Each structure stands twice: as structure tokens, then as C-alpha cells.
């Protein structure tokens, strides 16, 4: 449970006054054509600290705030935003939004309707964290990161050590003409450690496995991740990688750790089940999807072990919030059940257009100056109900690889054909780990890869990873998102030798 409240200096802004000014003007000036109007006040504070070999290499701390007004006038969107937080600016912004809609009306062939949503009056939500990282003095943050660096630099075989800390605090106020009013705050942190060895045939690196999370400073002191164990293990992992033989290309059984699989889920399931992408609305930039609306309840996405949930409510999730940027209460729902496609991620316009009863709360804007777009929920693979461990899965593999930590990736515009590398690949022989190999990448197509899922770890092997930089839309927006998974076993997956492939 969170022990925090929304910062008082945000609550002290004239939020209700701004909303009243903008919405009443929209109601009056929109005459009988206005179907919807909302105001969003958003403040985002970010901080990035970078250490190079235990010395501060860069540090930034910024804050941006503003208000945005959306109107739906005769089925056409209008949007405008400003960084001035005054009633007069709110009225002017509402008028600009109306004017955008008026100008656009003759040019727009497709009229927008919004799926219904109950009114949420004076709702408040705060993410689950204990210590605000922005309350930690910058000097203390630097000392803490340097404290991580020193033992790594002292370790044999480590030539350089980079440490990065990215933090964000987002505060939002939303109000619409229906009567919904929400106030929210969330805090997110992303620490990352990279060690580098200058080997005879070039540099090798190894990165920490901990993902970004909606926690506070406590994450860096051991709540949610064992940093002491991570730091103690990195030099050994790096040294083994330097000496590791190159992988022999072929078909292997893969035991994939959740620290790697989260990214495969993100690319092949998360993006593929965004309904706007599936319908072609993102084709000019972010691509399309092989998943189709008429496949719900019928399309075989993977094996019967594949159960994937979209969740905007999971504790510590990067995409977790109480309400989205259309005033929709967030929830959890099935995307894939027993290997069969069950649903998509929706905002209110997509839900109404395609006959769904309601949105599932996937509208988000990364700043006050950007319009809300349909964004990804926390998309996760459910573990098995038993107590199967990672070691159990490895023990059942005669000839395979154990895949740990994300690295590089490639996927086509339809989210169908892909290739992923990892921080570490371990050879499995006769059910036992037999040392690292390098230059490996696993390759497949989404349905065939997920169709080869043959084993799941239990809840004890489950981990919630994710990203802080999921990109989408034009102009581009960035979002935090999390993906959970247990350890998994996939049978006979194609593995490439990237060094050999690159040399062709």
C-alpha cells in the first residue's frame, strides 16, 4: 500500500477553476454540436543521473506543466494546449480546440463517437511507493550510485562501469463535461548498471537485469531487487562472456528467463494487440499488426499454455494508473486465453467504432502539450498454478539454451517476424547449465514461437520487467510500461550466430 499523497503544491493549483473556465466556454461556444469536452492539467518532473567510472558524467532535472483541452464537435476532434495555467488561458485554449474542430469538419470523412463511461467524481489515486526519490538530495543520489560503482571497478576484468538513474514524477488532473474529475500522481524509477571489459577481439559488456518500476527510492536500497547480489555477480558474468565460445547455429529448446521474455511479450503481443494498430491507424509510423478484430475467440495465437493479461492496475506497473486520460477507470482483462486471441487494447473512440461496450482505459498522453493516444497496458504472461521452478525447466532440457536479460531486438511492421538477443546465453546439456555462449539470437514468427511454448514456471519464477521508453504516435510520445512473465520453456526455436550472419 502506498504511504504517499499527491503533492500539495500541485493540488494548490487552481485546477477546478481552470476546468470550469475551459469547459463552460466549450459548452457555450460549441452550441448544439458539442458532444464532449475535457481539460487535462499535467505536470511531469524528470531527472537523469549518469556516472562513468564512479564519477558524475551528466545530471539533469527538469519540470514541465501545462493544460490541454479536447473537444468533440459534430464527431470531429479538436485539441489545443498551453503552458499557461490561468483561467483566461484555459478559455483561450478551449476556443482554439473548438476552432480546430470547426476547420477540420469539412475534411474529416469519419465521425467519432465515444464509448460510454460512468462518472467518477472527485477521484484520487497515487501509485504505490514509500520514498519520493525527488526528496533525496542530488548529492546523496550521486554518492549512492558511486557506491555501486566502486566494487565493480575494483573487480578483476572490469575496465569501465556506467551507472544510470532515470526518475519521473507525473501528476494529472482531468475533468470533463460529464462530471468526472480525477487527481493522480505516480512515481517511477529506472536504475541501470553496465560493466565493460576491453577484450582482445573488442569490448564486451554486461548489464544489470532489474527493470524500470513504479516504486520510489526504496527500489535502489533493496525493495524489489537485490542490488548487492546483482553487483557481486556482474564481474563474473562479464568475465565468462569474454571467454565464451561463439554459439553454434541451430534449433534449440530455450528456457527463457522473464528478464528477457518481457521484451518479446512487449513486441509480439503488447504492440500487436493495440486495436488502432490492427485497424491501420498507426501504419504511417508505428506499423500494423497481424492480429485482426475478427480473430477474437478464434485465432490461435500460441499454445494452450499461453494466457496473457492486459492490466492497468497491477502494483508497481509502469503503465499502472487509476484512470486514463479520458476519465476511464482502469482494469485488467484477457488478451489471450489458452492460446486463443480474446481481446485488444482500446480507448473510448476505438471501443465505440468496433462495437465494444466500453473502453479498457488505454488512452494516455506523455505531456500536457500532446493529445492522448491509445497506449499499451501492462501486458503479462500468467505463470502456472504449480511450483515449477526455473531449475525444473532447465532439468528437462537435453540440448538447449538458457536466455537471460534483454539486449537488442528486431521485428517487422506487422509484429510477425522477429529476432531477439540477450545479456547472457547459457548452454544446456543433459539438463544442466554448461557455461555461456555468445553471438546468439533467437528468431521466429509470433504464432509459431508462442505455439512452441511447452513449459511454464510457477509464481516463484515470475518477474515484472519493462521499459521506460515505449514509443508511438506522430508527433512521437514515450511511455513507461511493464510486462511480467514466469520462466518459460519453448521447444525447437531457431538460433542464429550473429557474428556469422553479420559477416555474410
Residue 502 pLDDT exceeds 80: no
Structural domain of residue 365, as residue ranges? Answer: 250-502
> Do 225 and 324 fall into the same domain?
no
pLDDT at 142: 97
Whether residues 389 and 314 share a domain: the answer is yes
CATH number at residue 36: 3.30.2290.10
pTM summary value: 0.97
Count of beta carbons in the 10 Å neighbourhood of residue 408: 11
Q: What is the mean pLDDT of the chain?
A: 97
The fraction of the chain above a pLDDT of 70, given in percent, is 99
Cβ-proximal residues to 361 (8 Å cutoff; 6+ apart), any chain: 312, 323, 324, 326, 328, 329, 330, 331, 377
pLDDT at residue number 201 = 85
Planar angle of CA 115, 121, 125, nearest 5 degrees: 95
Q: 173, 254 in Cβ contact below 8 A?
A: no
Same domain, 387 and 488: yes
Question: What cell numbers appear for 12 in the block?
Answer: 494548490
Q: Any bridge partners for residue 274, and if so which?
A: 345
In this prediction, residue 285 carries a pLDDT of 84
Domain count within the chain = 2
Domain annotation covers residue 463: yes
| Residue 439 located in a structural domain | yes
Tell me, yes or no, whether 2 lies in a domain. Answer: no
**Whether residue 42 is found in the same domain as residue 158:** yes
Please say which residue of 190, 224, 243 terminates a domain: 243
Tell me: do 152 and 265 sit in the same domain.
no
User: What pLDDT, on the 0 to 100 scale, is given for residue 504?
Assistant: 44
Residue range 80-85: mean pLDDT, rounded: 98
* Rounded distance between C-alpha atoms, residue 431 and residue 442, angstroms: 20
Same domain membership, residue 351 and residue 490: yes
Last residue of a domain, one of 243, 265, 291: 243
Contact 496, 489 (CB under 8 A): no
The SS3 call for residue 151 is helix
- Specify the pLDDT at position 403: 98
pLDDT score of 31: 86
1 in a structural domain:
no
Average pLDDT for 115-134:
97
pLDDT for residue 286: 79
Whether residue 216 is found in the same domain as residue 338 = no
Which ranges constitute the DSSP H helices of 309-389?
348-353
The pLDDT of residue 138 is above 80? yes
Q: Count the alpha carbons within 13 Å of 469 in the hemisphere toward its beta carbon.
A: 2
Q: Can you give the pLDDT at residue 1?
A: 44
Do 301 and 236 lie in one domain? The reply is no
Q: Is residue 441 part of a domain?
A: yes
Alpha helices (H) in 123-254, listed in sequence order: 138-154, 227-243
Instruction: Name the pLDDT band for 441 (thresholds 50, 70, 90).
Output: very high
Residues 235 and 338 grouped into a single domain: no
Q: Which residues of 243-282 are buried (b: 16+ CB within 10 A; e: fewer)?
A: ebeebebeebbbbbbbbbbbbbbbbbbbbbbbbbbbbebb
Please check whether residues 286 and 207 belong to one and the same domain.
Answer: no
Q: Considering the domain boundaries, does residue 3 fall inside one?
A: no
pLDDT band for position 264 (cuts 50, 70, 90) = very high
CA distance readout (Å), 194 to 44, 141, 202, 231, 317? 27, 17, 16, 10, 24
Residue 104: φ, ψ to 5°: -80, -25
Q: Are residues 96 and 189 in the same domain?
A: yes
Mean pLDDT of 56-73: 97
Position 231 pLDDT exceeds 70:
yes
Query: Of the candidates 226, 243, 260, which is a domain's last residue?
Result: 243
Cell of 140: 546523496
pLDDT in tens, 332-353: 999 999 999 999 999 999 999 9
Is position 364 within any domain? yes
Mean pLDDT of 381-396: 98
Residues 239 and 267 in one domain: no
**Among the listed ranges 37-41, 48-52, 497-501, which one has the minimum average pLDDT value?**
497-501
Q: 135-139, 200-204, 270-274, 323-327: lowest mean pLDDT where?
A: 200-204
Position 479 pLDDT exceeds 90: yes
Asked if pLDDT for residue 19 goes beyond 70, the answer is yes
234 vs 210: CA distance, rounded Å: 12
Amino acid at each position: 500500500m502506498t504511504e504517499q499523497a499527491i503533492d500539495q503544491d500541485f493540488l494548490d493549483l487552481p485546477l477546478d477553476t481552470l476546468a470550469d473556465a475551459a469547459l463552460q466556454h466549450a459548452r457555450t461556444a460549441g452550441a448544439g454540436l458539442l458532444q464532449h469536452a475535457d481539460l487535462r492539467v499535467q505536470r511531469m518532473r524528470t531527472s537523469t543521473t549518469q556516472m562513468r567510472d564512479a564519477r558524475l558524467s551528466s545530471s539533469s532535472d527538469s519540470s514541465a506543466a501545462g493544460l490541454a483541452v479536447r473537444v468533440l464537435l459534430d464527431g470531429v476532434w479538436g485539441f489545443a494546449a498551453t503552458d499557461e495555467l490561468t483561467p483566461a488561458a484555459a478559455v483561450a485554449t478551449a476556443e482554439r480546440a473548438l476552432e480546430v474542430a470547426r476547420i477540420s469538419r469539412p475534411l474529416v470523412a469519419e465521425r467519432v463517437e465515444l464509448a460510454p463511461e460512468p462518472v467518477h467524481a472527485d477521484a484520487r489515486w497515487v501509485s504505490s511507493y514509500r520514498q519520493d526519490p525527488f526528496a533525496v538530495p542530488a548529492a546523496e543520489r550521486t554518492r549512492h550510485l558511486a557506491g555501486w560503482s566502486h566494487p565493480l571497478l575494483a573487480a578483476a576484468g572490469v575496465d569501465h562501469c556506467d551507472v544510470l538513474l532515470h526518475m519521473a514524477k507525473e501528476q494529472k488532473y482531468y475533468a470533463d463535461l460529464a462530471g468526472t474529475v480525477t487527481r493522480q500522481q505516480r512515481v517511477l524509477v529506472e536504475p541501470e548498471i553496465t560493466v565493460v571489459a576491453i577484450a582482445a577481439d573488442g569490448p564486451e559488456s554486461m548489464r544489470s537485469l532489474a527493470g524500470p518500476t513504479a516504486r520510489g527510492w526504496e527500489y535502489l536500497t533493496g525493495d524489489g531487487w537485490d542490488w548487492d547480489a546483482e553487483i557481486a555477480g556482474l564481474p563474473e558474468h562479464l568475465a565468462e562472456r569474454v571467454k565464451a565460445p561463439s554459439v553454434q547455429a541451430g534449433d534449440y529448446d530455450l528456457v527463457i528467463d522473464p528478464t528477457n521474455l518481457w521484451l518479446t511479450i512487449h513486441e509480439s503481443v503488447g504492440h500487436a494487440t493495440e486495436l488502432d494498430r490492427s485497424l491501420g491507424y498507426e501504419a504511417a509510423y508505428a506499423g500494423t499488426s497481424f492480429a485482426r478484430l475478427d480473430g477474437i475467440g478464434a485465432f490461435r495465437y500460441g499454445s494452450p499454455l499461453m494466457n496473457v493479461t492486459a492490466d492497468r492496475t497491477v502494483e508497481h506497473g509502469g503503465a499502472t494508473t487509476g484512470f486514463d486520460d479520458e476519465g476511464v477507470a482502469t482494469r485488467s482483462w484477457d488478451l489471450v486465453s489458452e492460446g486463443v486471441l480474446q481481446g485488444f487494447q482500446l480507448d473510448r473512440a476505438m471501443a465505440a467504432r468496433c462495437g465494444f461496450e466500453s473502453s479498457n482505459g488505454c488512452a494516455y498522453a506523455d505531456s500536457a502539450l500532446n493529445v492522448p493516444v491509445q497506449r499499451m497496458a501492462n501486458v503479462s504472461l500468467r505463470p502456472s498454478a504449480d511450483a515449477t521452478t526455473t531449475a525444473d525447466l532447465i532439468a528437462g532440457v537435453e540440448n538447449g539454451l538458457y536466455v537471460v536479460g534483454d539486449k537488442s531486438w528486431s521485428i517487422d511492421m506487422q509484429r510477425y517476424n522477429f529476432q531477439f538477443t540477450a545479456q547472457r546465453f547459457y548452454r544446456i546439456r543433459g539438463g544442466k547449465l554448461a557455461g555461456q555462449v555468445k553471438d546468439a539470437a533467437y528468431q521466429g514468427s509470433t504464432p509459431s514461437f508462442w505455439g512452441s511454448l511447452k513449459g511454464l514456471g510457477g509464481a516463484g519464477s515470475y518477474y515484472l520487467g519493462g521499459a521506460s521508453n515505449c514509443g508511438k504516435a506522430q508527433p512521437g510520445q514515450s511511455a513507461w510500461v511493464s510486462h511480467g512473465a514466469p520462466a518459460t520453456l519453448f521447444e525447437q526455436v531457431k538460433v542464429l550466430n550473429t557474428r556469422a550472419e553479420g559477416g555474410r
